[in-house]
Every structure is written in structure tokens, then in C-alpha cells.
């Protein structure tokens, strides 16, 4: 009996050892997992590479049309972490179209860089903690972003140069060190249904000949960084900073709590804004300088800590059915040779006055403001004085005679004051 039990024990042990040997053999003969770069290099043109959840510490270079798709339940499940100093986590060049979906790209000197005529489509992608810009577009490169997040880049969320272009829908650009979007280009920028928030210097900086559109975009709390990486002028710490020959359309947006100016328009830049709220700005809600051109229609410039709207230099500002109210200083200020037009608007409840042309009789004590010798025209406006409901605190208009000209109803014509 004892011999039978012993034989049984030896048989069980032999079976267990055989199983261990089989498992060890299978593990030793399994092919090692290929790096992402190796898979990219070996893939056919247009192939889809499915990336299993995990961390992939490598910097990728792509020169062929390809799709990278994370297999996780969310972008956080698959993380590509740039590992090589001096290059982006993902670098793309050539006349190629690349798609990246459902993953996170971290670190790298930049998150993603595109050169030549490269095109990229990002969907459900997070780009975080880039040591430079989250996305950098050179040459004629272009990027289309859908439901993406670009956050905590040391420099800009997206940087565009040359003739590059950007189109983003339902995206968030958050806590980037300089600008959420910075373009010095002859390309285009289109941002829809998105948020640009907590940028260190300004929400969007648009220079050169950039053509841009912002539709249903919220700009929130931009320009409050205690340290500056590129911008020295505190007035440029704005929600939108437009300069050069850029042309910008802002439609249905909210620009709130900008450190400097809600929208700053300089040089020969042009702005068209409609159905947009500019709230709680630091120095001014809207400021135009040099030869800038701005038209606001059906907008509100409210609750600012400085002026509501300012026209400096030889700028041209047109306000049509705009509410300029409850700003700490004067609602509208005209300085230098600027040309300001005001139609059907309400200028009320401002801490100093409603509308002021900086002449010798107005604001004599203020330094740094050039005397006004431009043009101020308009009709059909509501500008109450201190004794009226929702009146401006110190005066309706300065000079006082402006009020009669700006507030009277004129069919088929305009009122003017010089």
C-alpha cells in the first residue's frame, strides 16, 4: 500500500515538474515585444498599429502614412514618453498623412513636431508636459485635432510658423507656459467649441498674415504667470493678442479674467467680433493701437478692472449694438488720431465716465495719453450721466457736447465730433 502511495506521489511531482518545464520553455521561446519604432519601420504604408496599454519610453520618427491607435479604454492607458533629448516625442516629416488616436504623449523636447507638408489628425489624444511646445508646425504642415487636450507645455500649446495651419474642435489648451496657441504664419487657425485657459502669457497670439477663426471658444484666466518666457509688455498678457497683418474672426466666444487686455489689436491687424462677451479684463476689455482695425457687433464688454474699450494711435474701432458697462474706469476712450464709431450701443455704470475723447478738458491729469485729434462718430446710443439710472459715475461724455451728438437718432446718417 505504501509503495502505491509513493508511486502516486512521484507521479504527481513528475507531472508538476513537466508543467513547469513546459511553461519555462514557452516563455523562453516567445518572441520579444518589438519597440514602437521598429513596428513603424516595418509597417506597410497606411497600416494601423494597435498599441496595447502601458508606457512606451521612446521617441518616434515617422516618414510614412500610418495610424497609431491606443487599445486602452481611455487615452491615459497608453502613454508614449519621449526619451531622447533635443527631439520631440513624435517627429513627423515628408508629404505624409498620419493619424493618432486614443493615447497620451508626454515630455520630449516637444510633444509632436511636423515638417515639410506633413499632415496629422489627432483624436482623443492628450499631449502633456512637453519641454517646449505641445505641437509645433513648420513649413506647410497641418494639424486637425478632435477632442484633444494640450496641457502643461513649457512654451506654447501649439506653435505655428511659415504656412502651417491648425483646425481644432472640442479641444482644451490648458496651463501652457506662454500662449495656448501662437501663430506667426501665413496659414490658418480655426478653433471651435474649445477652451483656452490658464496660459502663462496670453490665450492666443496671432501674428504675421495669419487668418484665424474662433467660434464658441472660452478664453479663461490667461496671462497671470509670475514669470515670462517671451512677452515683456504686460499689456500683451491678454486673452487674444493680434498683431502684424493678421485677420481674426471671433464669434460666440467668452473672454474672461485676462490679466492685461481681453483683446489687444496692434500694427495693421484686423478683428471682427460678434456675439462675444469680454468680461473682467485687467487693463481694458478691448484695445486697438497703431493702424489696427476692429469691429464689434452684438458684444458685451463688462466688469473690467480698467477701461472698457480704448482706441489709440491711428486705429479704427466700430461698435454696433455693444454693451460697455460696469468697468472700473471709463467705458470708451479715444486717444491720438484714432477713428471711433459708435452705433446703437449702451455705455453705462462705468466707474469714471461713459465716453471720453482725450482733449485738454478731459483727463488733463493723466500722463502717457496722446491728445485726441481724431474722429468720434455715432448715433442712437444710450450714455447716461451720474444722476440717471445706471449712470456713469463722473460724466456721460467728455467733452459734454459729445453726448448730444452720439445719442441722437439720425435716420440715414451719422453724427460726428472732431
Q: Hey, what's the cell of 50?
A: 494597435
Instruction: Answer whether residue 199 is part of any domain.
Output: no
pLDDT value of residue 364: 61
43-67 pLDDT, tens per residue? 999 999 999 999 999 999 999 999 9
Query: Which pLDDT value is given to residue 415?
Result: 40
Quote the pLDDT of residue 21: 45
Cis bond upstream, residue 399 (ω within 30):
yes
Residue 251 · residue 236 · CB < 8 Å: no
pLDDT score of 122 more than 80 = yes
Q: Which residue, 216, 369, 215, is CA-closest to 287? A: 369
With respect to residue 37, please indicate whether it lies within any of the assigned structural domains.
no
Over residues 124-152, the pLDDT tens digits come to 999 999 999 999 999 999 999 999 999 99
Asked, for residue 10, whether it belongs to a domain, the answer is: no
Residue 17 carries which DSSP code? H
* pLDDT higher than 60, residue 23: no
**Per-residue model confidence (pLDDT) at position 67:** 98
Q: How sure is the predictor about 289, in pLDDT bands with cuts at 50, 70 and 90? A: very high
Q: What is the pLDDT of residue 411?
A: 57
- For the segment 148-174, the average pLDDT, to the nearest whole number, is 97
Average pLDDT over residues 378-391: 96
Q: Note the pLDDT of residue 8.
A: 52
Tens digits of residue pLDDT in 362-379: 766 555 667 888 999 999
In a domain, residue 192? The reply is: no
Give the separation between CA 78 and CA 171, rounded to whole angstroms.
Answer: 19
* 210 within domain boundaries: no
Give residue 228's pLDDT band: very low, low, confident or very high (50, 70, 90).
low
Average pLDDT, the chain: 90
Task: Say which range, 28-32, 274-278, 335-339, has the weakest mean pLDDT.
Answer: 28-32
Is residue 96 in some structural domain? Answer: yes
Q: What is the value of pTM for the model shown?
A: 0.89
In a domain, 172, yes or no: no
Distance (Å, rounded) from C-alpha 203 to C-alpha 179? 5
Residue 232 forms beta bridges with which residues?
none
Q: Give the separation between CA 411 and CA 236, rounded to whole angstroms.
A: 40
- Distance (Å, whole) CA 145 – CA 99: 10
Residue 22 has pLDDT above 50, yes or no: no
Residue of higher predicted confidence among 81 and 30: 81
- β-partners of residue 217 are 194
pLDDT of residue 26: 39
Q: 115 and 138 in contact (C-beta within 8 Å)? A: yes
In a domain, 399, yes or no: no
Provide the number of structural domains found in the chain.
Answer: 1
Over 60: is that where the pLDDT of 393 sits?
yes
Domain that holds residue 96: 46-142
DSSP secondary structure of 300-315: EEES-SSEEEEE-TT-
Cβ-contact 263, 286 below 8 angstroms: yes
Confidence of residue 236 (pLDDT cuts 50, 70, 90): confident
What integer pLDDT is reported at residue 41 of this predicted model?
97
Amino acid at each position: 500500500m505504501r509503495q502505491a502511495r509513493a508511486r502516486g506521489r512521484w507521479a504527481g511531482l513528475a507531472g508538476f515538474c513537466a508543467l513547469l518545464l513546459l511553461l519555462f520553455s514557452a516563455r523562453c521561446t516567445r518572441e520579444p515585444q518589438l519597440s514602437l519604432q521598429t513596428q513603424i519601420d516595418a509597417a506597410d504604408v497606411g497600416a494601423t498599429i494597435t498599441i496595447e496599454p502601458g508606457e512606451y519610453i521612446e521617441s518616434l520618427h515617422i516618414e510614412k502614412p500610418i495610424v497609431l491607435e491606443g487599445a486602452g479604454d481611455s487615452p491615459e492607458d497608453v502613454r508614449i514618453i519621449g526619451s531622447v533629448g533635443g527631439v520631440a516625442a513624435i517627429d513627423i516629416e515628408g508629404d505624409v498623412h498620419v493619424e493618432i488616436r486614443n493615447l497620451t504623449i508626454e515630455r520630449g523636447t516637444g510633444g509632436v513636431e511636423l515638417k515639410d507638408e506633413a499632415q496629422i489628425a489627432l483624436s482623443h489624444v492628450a499631449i502633456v508636459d512637453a519641454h517646449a511646445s505641445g505641437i509645433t508646425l513648420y513649413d506647410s504642415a497641418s494639424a486637425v485635432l478632435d477632442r484633444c487636450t494640450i496641457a502643461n507645455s513649457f512654451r506654447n500649446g501649439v506653435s505655428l510658423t511659415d504656412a502651417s495651419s491648425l483646425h481644432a474642435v472640442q479641444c482644451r489648451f490648458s496651463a501652457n507656459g506662454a500662449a495656448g496657441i501662437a501663430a506667426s504664419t501665413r496659414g490658418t487657425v480655426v478653433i471651435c467649441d474649445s477652451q483656452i485657459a490658464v496660459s502663462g502669457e496670453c490665450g492666443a497670439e496671432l501674428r504675421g498674415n495669419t487668418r484665424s477663426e474662433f467660434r464658441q471658444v472660452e478664453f479663461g484666466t490667461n496671462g497671470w504667470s509670475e514669470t515670462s518666457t517671451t512677452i515683456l509688455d504686460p499689456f500683451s498678457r491678454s486673452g487674444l493678442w493680434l498683431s502684424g497683418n493678421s485677420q481674426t474672426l471671433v464669434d460666440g466666444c467668452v473672454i474672461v479674467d485676462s490679466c492685461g487686455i481681453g483683446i489687444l489689436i496692434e500694427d495693421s491687424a484686423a478683428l471682427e467680433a460678434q456675439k462675444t462677451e469680454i468680461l473682467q479684463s485687467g487693463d481694458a476689455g478691448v484695445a486697438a493701437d497703431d493702424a489696427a482695425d476692429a469691429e464689434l457687433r452684438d458684444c458685451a464688454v463688462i466688469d473690467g478692472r480698467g477701461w472698457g474699450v480704448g482706441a489709440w494711435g491711428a486705429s479704427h474701432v466700430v461698435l454696433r449694438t455693444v454693451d460697455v458697462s460696469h468697468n472700473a474706469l471709463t467705458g470708451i476712450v479715444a486717444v491720438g488720431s484714432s477713428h471711433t464709431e459708435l452705433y446703437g450701443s449702451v455705455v453705462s455704470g462705468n466707474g469714471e465716465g461713459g465716453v471720453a475723447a482725450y482733449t485738454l478738458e478731459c483727463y488733463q491729469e493723466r500722463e502717457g495719453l496722446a491728445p485726441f485729434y481724431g474722429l468720434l462718430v455715432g448715433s442712437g446710443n444710450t450714455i447716461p450721466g451720474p444722476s440717471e439710472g445706471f449712470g456713469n459715475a463722473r460724466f456721460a461724455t467728455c467733452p459734454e457736447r459729445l453726448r448730444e451728438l452720439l445719442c441722437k437718432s439720425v435716420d440715414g446718417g451719422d453724427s460726428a465730433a472732431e
